[in-house]
Amino acid sequence: MAVPIRTVVAALCTALAATLLTTAPAGAEQRERAWTVTVAADAPRVRIALDDATGTLSLSVTRGGRTVIEPSPVGIVTERADFSKDLRFLRGKNRTVEERYRTRSGKRLDRRVRMNETRLSFATPAGARLDLLVRAAADGVAYRYVLPAGHGDVLGETSAFTLPPDAGAWLGTYRPDNEGQFTEYTAATAPTGAYSPQALFATDGGYTLLAESDLTGAYSGARLAHDKGTGTYRVELADDRVKTDGPLTTPWRAMVTGDLATVTRSTFTDDLAPASKVADPSWIRPGTVLWTWLAGGRPAGQSLAAQKAYVDYAAERNWPYEAVDAGWYFKADEWDVTDPDWQTNSWMPELVDHARAKGVGIIVWIHQRELDTSEERAQWLPTLERWGVKGVKIDFMDSEAQATLQWYDAILRETAAHHLMVNFHGSTVPKGIQRTWPHVMTLEGVAGEEKRTNTAAHLTTLPFTRNVIGSMDFTPGAFHRVGLRPNSDAAEVGLTVAYESGLQMFAGTPDSYDARPLARDYFDQVPAAWNDTRLLAGRPGREAVLARRSGDRWFLGGVYAGPARRAEVPLTIGAGRWLVETIQDGADGLVRNRQVLRGGDTFAVDVVANGGFAGIACPWRPGVTTCHR
């Protein structure tokens, strides 16, 4: 829940948020005006330039004097005005934005924000006005367009991001459900096509992840369009025409930037988003979930007896939730909502009562088509709340068009009103949504465990791309899917920490957990909300080792792609002595190792091909022999 916000208007011409007019040498014709925004000398610096000859705007980003983003087009076109050319500068205004807020889940519960903001006003020859809002923080820069009423519908943006052609690039092919795999290219050699807006690039200025924030039904979702042979990635909207009927503020075009550890730990897209709209979030409780779909599919979903057995297993393990997937409300594959007894014929209330008695909450899957009208939502949501269901997993939106985003606006308000946590599948990606609507615990928007074509390289890229911007429902723990996943058992355990999700859904079977007691016992310990997150080692597509803190314990998750190796991991979790327990792949299954290390030491882990590890580090003192509690 956000605490009161303090916003300080900074003096114009400070060193940290400077609006600088660049002039040509004496006697030469002035050709460009430029403004720069930054928060510190070692932070990213964004430069906005206006070409006086063409009236076009461009934006570039540097860090430490090195290239992050080359000069890139900035502009938007509406049916009544073209704000991509012939602009003249009107005025500028600076301020500093400082906020503190607390989340219910994510990489870090307590957040502190400091950004410098410049607002630049421009006009077309006909007098139409555009404001360009630019923000800079220690871990990113962003911009958005602000238009007054009367501009008409938006026809598109000329916004783009230009990278050095040889910049490393990790890109996911665009899909409306955001389930494209991430693959490594260079900025120029990536094939012509559309890509996810969560694109990661490496230049001499560090790593930069492109992203969006504060996307609502007032606008349209975006993708990146690229032509092979160039380093330019254009912003394309899901709609040919974005309908507006008044003033418009577009989503933030964000660039999370810094070294890889900074990008991985960043909460920049959340920091840009509006404050929480949930006044009392006390009912929102992250946790681990026994998820049964990959354990049996629809037949298991339709069986009350099977679901009770799963609840009993979750209760035995002290796992707080059990998720019931597709099939539970279907009769002959279709639920007849015109049946006056449709609410009383379901066995779900009996299951919820059974689970409540055992301290387990129930989360239910539901198709978006059951909730796509206000009348349907008025039937379903109060009923689920009355039954005592804790959350809904809503599936198959498969669109980021404006009409779908308006549906998101409605369902977010209404699920919050009925105290239902949300897991979106077949969906958009977070884009700041979890700050504004903290009952959104996780979203799919990823090629997750259900996919049969994932690669180990994809798995080691996700912590630096999709999962940077918010909770990701990858659904790890599917030990029974041998041959259908690219990684080892120890790596599968490590995914529960390497990937952050406010509802961490375990995708295996009870039998597969019992056959791997070290993994099962680790799942008993692992939280779903964190006090802090750190990257210990990483290279997209090759390795990712993350440490996440809960209380005084650090949980460790490492995933690797490629041949077997002896991996070296720096224990950069703080000073003092630590007992470190790791779960690794052994000759006959999972094995546990224990050692006492000092903070900053490097420890070695034997990793099998496409393997990994999981671990816990806790403060050591004489007599401490285990981190498990």
- Are 346 and 318 within one domain? yes
- Are 436 and 505 within one domain? yes
pLDDT of 343 over the 70 cut: no
- Are 336 and 460 within one domain? yes
- Are 264 and 323 within one domain? no
Are 257 and 263 within 8 A, CB to CB? yes
- Are 252 and 374 within one domain? no
pLDDT at 100: 98
> What gap in Å lies between CA 350 and CA 356, rounded to an integer?
10
Question: Does residue 282 lie in a domain region?
Answer: no
- Are 58 and 147 within one domain? yes
Q: How confident is the model at residue 437 (pLDDT cuts 50, 70, 90)?
A: very high
Domain hosting residue 515, numbered range = 287-530
pLDDT of 95 over the 70 cut: yes
pLDDT at 69: 98
Of 272, 300, 330, the residue that ends a domain is 272
Looking at residues 331-349, what average pLDDT do you find? Answer: 60
Q: How confident is the model at residue 344 (pLDDT cuts 50, 70, 90)?
A: low
DSSP string for residues in 310-377: HHHHHHHHT-SEEEE-TTTT-BTTB--TTSTTTTTS-SHHHHHHHHHHTT-EEEEEEEGGGGSSHHHH
358-416 per-position pLDDT tens digit:
999 999 999 999 999 999 999 999 999 999 999 999 999 999 999 999 999 999 999 99
> What gap in Å lies between CA 243 and CA 337, rounded to an integer?
33
Task: Supply the residues annotated as catalytic.
Answer: 395, 450
pLDDT of 165 over the 50 cut: yes
Q: What angle do CA 197, 148, 145 make, to 5 degrees?
A: 25
pLDDT of 487 over the 90 cut: yes
Question: Does residue 463 lie in a domain region?
Answer: yes
- Are 332 and 427 within one domain? yes
453-471 per-position pLDDT tens digit:
999 999 999 999 999 999 9
111-159 per-position pLDDT tens digit:
999 999 999 999 999 999 999 999 999 999 999 999 999 999 999 999 9
- Are 173 and 320 within one domain? no
pLDDT at 18: 40
CATH of the domain at 31: 2.70.98.10
Question: Does residue 543 lie in a domain region?
Answer: no
626 has which bridge partners?
none
Looking at residues 488-509, what average pLDDT do you find? Answer: 97
pLDDT at 345: 64
* Between 489 and 344, residue with greater pLDDT: 489
Looking at residues 268-295, what average pLDDT do you find? Answer: 96
> What gap in Å lies between CA 196 and CA 270, rounded to an integer?
18
pLDDT at 302: 75
Question: Does residue 542 lie in a domain region?
Answer: no
pLDDT at 342: 53
Sequence-ordered list of residues with C-beta below 8 angstroms from that of 245, at least 6 positions apart, any chain: none
Using DSSP's 3-state secondary structure scheme, residue 150 falls into coil
- Are 310 and 242 within one domain? no
pLDDT at 485: 95
Q: How confident is the model at residue 185 (pLDDT cuts 50, 70, 90)?
A: very high
Q: Token match 């007849």: residue?
A: 336
pLDDT at 3: 41
- Are 348 and 455 within one domain? yes
pLDDT of 582 over the 50 cut: yes
- Are 255 and 403 within one domain? no
pLDDT of 421 over the 50 cut: yes
pLDDT of 332 over the 60 cut: no
- Are 101 and 41 within one domain? yes
Q: How confident is the model at residue 300 (pLDDT cuts 50, 70, 90)?
A: low
Question: Does residue 481 lie in a domain region?
Answer: yes
Minimum mean pLDDT among 301-315, 464-478, 575-589: which range? 301-315
Of 229, 246, 272, the residue that ends a domain is 272
Question: Does residue 460 lie in a domain region?
Answer: yes
Question: Does residue 601 lie in a domain region?
Answer: no
Question: Does residue 598 lie in a domain region?
Answer: no
- DSSP label at residue 405: H
CATH of the domain at 525: 3.20.20.70
18-54 per-position pLDDT tens digit:
444 333 333 344 588 999 999 999 999 999 999 999 9
* Between 623 and 29, residue with greater pLDDT: 623
H-helix or E-strand spanning residue 380: helix 374-387
pLDDT of 341 over the 90 cut: no
Of 217, 248, 272, the residue that ends a domain is 272
pLDDT of 481 over the 70 cut: yes
Looking at residues 154-171, what average pLDDT do you find? Answer: 98
pLDDT of 476 over the 80 cut: yes
Where residue 214 falls (left for φ over 0; alpha for ψ -120 to 50; beta otherwise) is left
- Domains identified in the chain, total number: 2
